[in-house]
Amino acid sequence: MIEAAIVATARTPIGRAPRGSLNDLHGAEMGGHVIRAAVARAGLDPAEIEDVMLGTARPEGATGSNIARQAALRGGLPDTVPGTTLDRKCASGLQTIVLAAQRIRAGEGRAIVAGGLESVSLLDPHVNRFRALDGWLAEHVAGLYWPMIRTADHVARRYGIGREAQDIYAVESQRRTAAAQNARLFDDEIVPLTAERNVFDKSGAVIGRETVMLSRDEGNRPGTTLEALAKLKPVAADGTVTAGNASQLSDGASVCVVMRADEAARRGLPVMGLYRGFEVVGLDPEEMGIGPVFAVPRLLARFGLGVDDIDLWELNEAFAVQVIYCRDRLGIDPARLNVNGGAISIGHPFGMSGSRLVGHALIEGARRRVRRVVVTMCIGGGMGAAALFEIGG
């Protein structure tokens, strides 16, 4: 069977939204930046890329109009390279990597760039909400349209996960990310960039512009304490989710180069990891955060594996509450889970995150000399996804 290998990855540093360093960076420039870097890291001629597949949770405005095609051209690929854009919400960046790997396994390509991006800063103020809801669905499947924070509070109430447990998890995420940044554990995946950003006053009005050079994720708050988080007000008066125990709104882009493993070997290219399999499931939209609980067992069963057979887990930290529930329900060892922190401390550009998690899991897995990693996440609308990779070739 043809094997699909990840041979390179590249991502932007993650910027805070809407006041961070990437708050005025168009999706084409953001995506082009990482495409150019990833192809160079793979040691490929740009003309050898056969397709570009990018995911985004909001394919409109600055990340619309087939942003994958725009980013391909912005990234220096010749106009013979096509592009396609996909929306599976928070799993969009993971899904494109999976589709690229499946195409290669089917013998339909040799080298594909896949990943995702998001500009919350440019999209949030201008989202098109005209006829956004279907009347029948709003009446009969109301949870489909709930804000994600409401689904997280729903999970907290239904499964008895209190505020303190969520805050404790969030503090640990911040601590792990701070330690990883100090040890420069993200450097191999990040491609620094210079950008022009908008400067806002306290009222939210733009009062100027400045040039910034961003070389590391800017969301981490290394001094976070449990006492400080306890003082934050919940988003909903009767809820437990706060700005401190939820993922940060962010901007960023990430891609991986997916290639035939035999072709990589023939050229002597280093293989970061091999794609093994993927599962995606649907569930009650009201508790979308627990999607990994259903996706992971299906994935592992297909390969005759148990939870303890997985050496590293990247479970997207949309909210502390859903990570806690999934971790405990699946029986994941906390020492193998999100070892360098996650979206609570790093940030969560929706369409980017799946690709970032794949790249980071493969780099960290190689660093620790382990074999198997799983990337898993909940997905807006009531879904869950999980993918299995093996380190190296």
Active site residues: 90, 348, 378
Instruction: Please choose, from the candidates 146, 156, 190, 132, the residue with its C-alpha nearest in 3D space to the C-alpha of residue 340.
Output: 190
If one counts every other C-beta atom within 10 angstroms of the C-beta of residue 178, the result is 18
The amino acid present at 65, given as its one-letter code, is: S
What is the CB neighbour count within 10 angstroms for residue 393?
16
The string of DSSP codes covering 170-183 is HHHHHHHHHHHHHT
φ/ψ (deg, to 5) at 139: -85, -40
User: Is residue 16 within 8 Å of residue 250, measured between CB atoms?
Assistant: yes
Contact call for residues 105 and 2 (beta carbons, < 8 A): yes
* Cα(4)–Cα(260) distance, integer angstroms: 5
Provide the strand spans (E) within the chain: 4-11, 15-16, 51-55, 83-86, 111-119, 193-200, 206-214, 250-260, 273-282, 312-315, 372-379, 383-391
Q: What angle do CA 86, 89, 90 make, to 5 degrees?
A: 115
DSSP run (H or E) holding 354:
helix 350-368
Instruction: Find out whether the peptide bond into 82 is cis, omega within 30 degrees of 0.
Output: no
Q: Counting every residue, how long is the chain?
A: 393
Hey, which bits of 290-369 come out as E strands? 312-315
Q: DSSP characters for 183-205?
A: TTTTTTTB--EEEEEEEE-TTS-
**Alpha-carbon distance 114 to 100, whole Å?**
7
